[in-house]
């Protein structure tokens, strides 16, 4: 059924997905996202009073759902470091109209929390995992976190019914290319889909170079050389990953080619930052403040109206422009708006 309130942006794109960053904090220091040099002991994280409360997050999500959002993903920072997250999940799972309620996590705390999250109504989890050997994994998370605890988290999520699980793996040239094959071998035939992500420029780690990106086409070739693959048609408009199926029936992989093949034309995603700003693009430098309206006594109807106006004026297609190389684009604040 088409939602009578559905709003389209200036390029005809509906708002379908909302990513909610529930905290700007993380217990990992992955060099491609929250490098230690920037997010060290002196880094000023948001004071608690500036972070949206569960009440405020619920209000914002309800407003977005009224305008057509059907998929809500909780992210961060690391969402599981936010206390009582299952309480938020319980509130959101009661909202009518959400077809898909998911969580993206590094899974470091998932083993202990998976069951409570499932009981609260979470549908699925996506786990970020960049390597299966401790040496590489610890070098990438930069806090010495062992990979086995992430695998335990994945096991617990499966046991709690939070599948089908997706694995997100960022591939960096010279760092974890061997993980392409390792992850394919480990997860084929298990029902868990690995999605390989091209390494994007996040600005803070001034080291980003195009040479560090392993293009999606190369990732697909690497896997196909071992296990033949066939492309799969997208399930729906705006699907982020291009999917491939193992020819022998052992499941699927996905690649997310935001650098080599940007996909703005179909982008139906909005992002809510931990401090209540709505970003209509991962590369947008400016968010629209929803928190002020909520804290200044705005009604739910005012909130819906504000969201509608923001979305109706949306014209972002930054990553396409980036690939044309015509403009100097802002860098992504991945840790802030949740990837």
> Where along the sequence are the contacts to ligand SAM (CB under 6 A)?
26, 32-33, 75-76, 78, 104-106, 128, 168, 170, 197, 199-200, 202, 334-335, 338-339
Closest to ligand SAM by CB, 121 vs 203, is 203
Instruction: Note the Cα 149 to chain centre separation in Å.
Output: 21
Closest to ligand SAM by CB, 193 vs 294, is 193
Backbone Cα Rg of the chain: 19
Closest to ligand SAM by CB, 142 vs 305, is 142
Closest to ligand SAM by CB, 98 vs 202, is 202
Structure tokens at 151: 């695998």
CB of 182 to ligand SAM, least distance (A): 16
CB of 87 to ligand SAM, least distance (A): 19
CB of 78 to ligand SAM, least distance (A): 4
Closest to ligand SAM by CB, 101 vs 303, is 101
Q: Which residue is nearest to ligand SAM (CB)?
A: 339
CB of 338 to ligand SAM, least distance (A): 5
CB of 175 to ligand SAM, least distance (A): 12
CB of 303 to ligand SAM, least distance (A): 25
Q: For the sheet containing 288-289, what is the strand order? A: 229-232, 242-246, 252-256, 193-198, 166-171, 124-128, 100-105, 71-75, 17-21, 269-272, 277-279, 288-289
Burial class of residue 170 (count of CB atoms within 10 Å of its CB; 0-12, 13-18, 19+): buried
Long-range contacts of 42-50 (CB under 8 A, 24+ apart): 46/274, 46/275, 50/275, 50/291
Closest to ligand SAM by CB, 89 vs 306, is 89
Sign of CA dihedral 70, 76, 80, 81: negative
The span from the CA of 145 to the CA of 253, in Å, is: 26
């Amino acid at each position: 059924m088409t939602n009578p309130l559905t709003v389209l942006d200036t390029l005809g794109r509906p708002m379908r997905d909302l990513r909610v960053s529930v905290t700007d904090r993380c217990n990992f220091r992955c060099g491609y996202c929250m490098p230690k040099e920037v997010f060290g002991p002196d880094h000023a994280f948001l004071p608690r009073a500036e972070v949206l409360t569960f009440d405020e997050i619920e209000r914002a999500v309800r407003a977005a759902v009224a305008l057509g959002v059907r998929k809500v993903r909780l992210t961060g920072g690391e969402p599981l470091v936010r206390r009582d997250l299952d309480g938020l999940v319980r509130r959101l799972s009661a909202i009518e109209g959400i077809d898909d309620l998911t969580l993206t996590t590094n899974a470091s705390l998932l083993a202990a929390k998976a069951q409570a999250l499932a009981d609260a109504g979470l549908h699925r989890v996506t786990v970020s995992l960049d390597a299966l050997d401790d040496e590489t994994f610890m070098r990438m998370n930069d806090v010495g976190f062992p990979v086995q605890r992430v695998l335990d988290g994945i096991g617990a999520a499966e046991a709690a019914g939070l599948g089908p699980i997706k694995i997100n793996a960022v591939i960096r040239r010279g760092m974890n290319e061997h993980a392409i094959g390792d992850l394919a071998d480990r997860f084929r035939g298990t029902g868990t889909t690995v999605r390989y992500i091209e390494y994007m420029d996040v600005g803070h780690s001034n080291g980003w170079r195009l040479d560090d990106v392993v293009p999606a086409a190369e990732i697909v070739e690497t896997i196909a050389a071992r296990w033949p693959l066939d492309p799969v048609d997208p399930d729906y408009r705006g699907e982020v990953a291009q999917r491939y199926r193992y020819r022998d029936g052992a499941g699927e992989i996905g690649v997310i080619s935001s650098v080599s093949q940007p996909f703005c034309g179909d982008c139906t995603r909005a992002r809510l930052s931990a401090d209540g700003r709505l970003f209509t693009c991962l590369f947008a430098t400016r968010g629209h403040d929803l928190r002020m309206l909520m804290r200044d006594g705005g009604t739910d109807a005012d909130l819906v109206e504000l969201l509608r106006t923001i979305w109706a004026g949306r014209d972002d297609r930054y990553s396409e422009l980036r690939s044309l190389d015509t403009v100097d684009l802002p860098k992504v604040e991945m840790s802030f708006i949740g990837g």
